[in-house]
C-alpha cells in the first residue's frame, strides 16, 4: 500500500513537472515572439542609411556608376568639317567639349568622356598642338587620328603612351583606319580606357580640382536667349536657350548644295540618339593664337595664371568673368566679375576657345554673337 502511494506520488510529481516545463516553454516562446515583433518595428521605424552620392567633378552631377570615375578621362578628337561628316556621334555623352579654330575657317572638337561612356564617337580626326595641353590639364587619354610629323612629336613628347592614335589601338577602341575619308574612323571611350589599362599604364582616379557648380543662378547676369559662334561667315553655330529643359540647344549651318552661297540653320543632333545637342553651360574663353601655317596654330592655354576674359552662359543669362590655368596639370578655373569662383550649372559644358581679337557683342535684344579673329 505504501509502495503504491509512493509510486502515485512520483507519477504526480512527474506530471506536475511536465506542466511546469510546458508552461515555461510557452512563456519563453511568447517572450521571444514579442522581442521579434519589437525588433521588426524598431527596424521599420529606424532611418535607413542613404548611400552617399559620388559626384563627377567635371559636371557636378552624381554618377550612376562610380567606378567610371576611377580612371582617366578619355578625350576624343571629333571633326566638324566637311559638312558630310555630320551629324557627329557621341557628343551628347561628353562631360565637356572644347571647340577651337584649326584654320581655313574651320573648327574641331575635343570631347571629354569621364562620367559616362559612348560606344561610337566621331568622326575621329587628327590632333593639334593644343590637345597636348588640354589632355595634360585633365589627366586624360587622347584618342586621335594621328597628326602631321611635328604635331605628333609634340603630342607624344607631352603625353607619351597616353596619346593613342587610331593606328595603334585595335577594334573596338577604334573602328576604321582612314581618317582622311572624314567618316572613316570612330572611337569607343570605354574600350580606349581598357586598352590603356591593358598596356600596363596607370589608369586610376585623377585629381580634377577647380570647377564649381550650383543650381542657384549667380548675380550680375544679362539676359541671353541665344549666343552665336562664327568661325567665319559660313561656319555658324547657334546656342538657343530652351527654358523648358534649362539648357542651350545647338543649331548649325546646312548647305543644301556645296556650291550654294546661302544656308539654313538646322538642329544639330547626336547620330547615336537622334536628339538635339543640349548643354547646361556654354563658355567662351579668349586665348592667343599663333599661326604657324594656314592649318597649324599654337593656342596659349598654359601660362595663363593671371586670368583672361571669359563669358559664361547658363539659365538664359550671360556672365562676364575670367578663366585661368593655375598650373599645367590642373583643369581650367573660372571666375566671376567679382574675382570669386564662377558657379556653373550642374551638367555638361561646351567651351569655345576664341582668338584675342574676336568680336563679341549683343547683336539684338538678348542675342549675343562671337566672330572669331586671331591672334
What are the tens digits of pLDDT across the range 161-172?
999 999 999 999
**Which of 293, 252, 240 has the alpha carbon at shortest distance from 86?**
252
Whether 15 maps to a domain, the answer reads no
Whether 3 maps to a domain, the answer reads no
Assign residue 149 the CATH number of its domain.
3.50.90.10
The total domain count for the chain is 1
C-alpha to C-alpha distance for 327 and 193, rounded to whole angstroms: 25
Whether 192 maps to a domain, the answer reads yes
What are the tens digits of pLDDT across the range 246-259?
999 999 999 999 88
> SS3 breakdown of the chain: % helix, strand, coil, rounded to 5?
25, 35, 40
- pLDDT band at 183, cuts 50/70/90? confident
What's the distance, CA 166 to chain centroid?
A: 22
pLDDT at residue 137 greater than cutoff 60: yes
Helix (H, G, I), strand (E, B) or coil at 19: helix
Helix (H, G, I), strand (E, B) or coil at 285: strand
Mean pLDDT on 173-183 = 85
What are the tens digits of pLDDT across the range 329-344?
999 999 999 999 999 9
Question: What pLDDT, on a 0 to 100 scale, did the predictor assign at position 48?
Answer: 60
Whether 14 maps to a domain, the answer reads no
Which residues are within 8 A (CB) of 339 and not within 5 positions of it... i.e. 6 or more apart? none
Domain that holds residue 55: 50-375
Question: What pLDDT, on a 0 to 100 scale, did the predictor assign at position 24?
Answer: 43
CB 335 within 8 A of CB 309: no
Higher pLDDT, 17 or 228: 228
pTM: 0.87
Whether 24 maps to a domain, the answer reads no
Question: What pLDDT, on a 0 to 100 scale, did the predictor assign at position 26?
Answer: 38
Question: What pLDDT, on a 0 to 100 scale, did the predictor assign at position 35?
Answer: 38
Whether 57 maps to a domain, the answer reads yes
Q: What is the DSSP string of 25-61?
A: HHHHHHHHHHHHHHHHHHHHHSPPPPPPPPBPTTTSS
What are the tens digits of pLDDT across the range 82-106?
999 999 999 999 999 999 999 999 9
* Count of residues making up the chain: 375
Instruction: Provide the percentage of residues in the chain whose pLDDT is more than 90.
Output: 82
Question: What pLDDT, on a 0 to 100 scale, did the predictor assign at position 7?
Answer: 33
CB 84 within 8 A of CB 183: yes
Question: What pLDDT, on a 0 to 100 scale, did the predictor assign at position 372?
Answer: 98
Mean of per-residue pLDDT scores for the chain: 89
Question: What pLDDT, on a 0 to 100 scale, did the predictor assign at position 14?
Answer: 31
pLDDT at residue 28 greater than cutoff 50: no
pLDDT at residue 293 greater than cutoff 80: yes
- Name the helix (H) or strand (E) containing 274: none
Higher pLDDT, 353 or 23: 353
Whether 75 maps to a domain, the answer reads yes
Whether 285 maps to a domain, the answer reads yes
Question: What pLDDT, on a 0 to 100 scale, did the predictor assign at position 21?
Answer: 40
Amino acid at each position: 500500500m505504501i509502495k503504491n502511494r509512493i509510486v502515485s506520488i512520483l507519477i504526480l510529481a512527474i506530471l506536475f513537472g511536465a506542466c511546469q516545463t510546458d508552461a515555461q516553454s510557452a512563456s519563453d516562446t511568447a517572450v521571444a515572439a514579442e522581442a521579434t515583433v519589437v525588433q521588426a518595428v524598431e527596424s521599420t521605424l529606424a532611418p535607413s542609411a542613404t548611400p552617399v552620392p559620388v559626384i563627377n567633378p567635371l559636371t557636378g552631377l552624381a554618377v550612376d556608376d562610380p567606378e567610371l570615375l576611377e580612371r582617366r578621362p578619355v578625350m576624343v578628337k571629333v571633326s566638324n568639317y566637311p559638312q558630310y561628316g555630320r551629324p557627329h556621334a557621341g557628343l551628347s555623352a561628353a562631360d565637356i567639349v572644347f571647340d577651337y579654330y584649326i584654320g581655313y575657317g574651320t573648327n574641331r572638337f575635343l570631347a571629354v568622356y569621364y562620367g559616362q561612356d559612348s560606344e561610337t564617337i566621331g568622326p575621329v580626326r587628327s590632333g593639334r598642338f593644343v590637345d597636348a595641353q588640354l589632355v595634360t590639364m585633365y589627366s586624360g587619354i587622347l584618342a586621335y587620328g594621328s597628326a602631321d610629323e611635328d604635331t605628333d612629336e609634340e603630342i607624344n613628347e607631352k603625353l607619351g603612351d597616353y596619346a593613342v592614335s587610331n593606328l595603334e589601338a585595335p577594334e573596338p577602341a577604334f573602328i576604321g583606319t582612314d581618317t582622311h575619308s572624314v567618316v572613316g574612323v570612330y572611337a569607343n571611350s570605354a574600350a580606349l580606357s581598357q586598352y590603356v589599362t591593358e598596356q600596363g599604364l596607370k589608369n586610376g582616379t585623377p585629381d580634377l580640382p577647380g570647377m564649381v557648380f550650383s543650381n542657384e543662378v549667380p548675380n550680375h547676369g544679362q539676359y541671353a536667349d541665344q549666343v552665336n559662334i562664327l568661325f567665319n561667315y559660313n561656319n555658324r553655330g547657334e546656342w538657343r536657350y530652351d527654358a523648358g529643359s534649362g539648357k542651350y540647344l545647338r543649331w548649325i549651318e546646312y548647305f543644301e548644295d556645296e556650291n550654294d552661297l546661302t544656308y539654313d540653320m538646322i538642329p544639330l543632333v547626336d547620330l547615336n540618339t537622334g536628339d538635339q545637342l543640349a548643354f547646361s553651360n556654354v563658355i567662351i574663353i579668349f586665348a592667343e593664337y599663333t599661326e604657324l601655317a594656314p592649318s597649324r596654330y599654337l593656342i596659349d592655354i598654359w601660362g595663363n595664371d593671371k586670368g583672361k576674359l571669359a563669358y559664361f552662359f547658363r539659365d538664359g543669362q550671360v556672365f562676364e568673368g575670367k578663366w585661368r590655368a593655375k598650373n599645367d596639370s590642373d583643369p581650367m578655373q573660372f571666375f566671376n566679375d567679382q574675382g570669386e569662383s564662377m558657379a556653373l550649372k550642374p551638367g555638361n559644358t561646351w567651351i569655345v576657345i576664341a582668338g584675342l581679337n574676336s568680336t563679341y557683342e549683343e547683336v539684338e535684344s538678348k542675342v549675343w554673337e562671337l566672330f572669331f579673329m586671331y591672334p
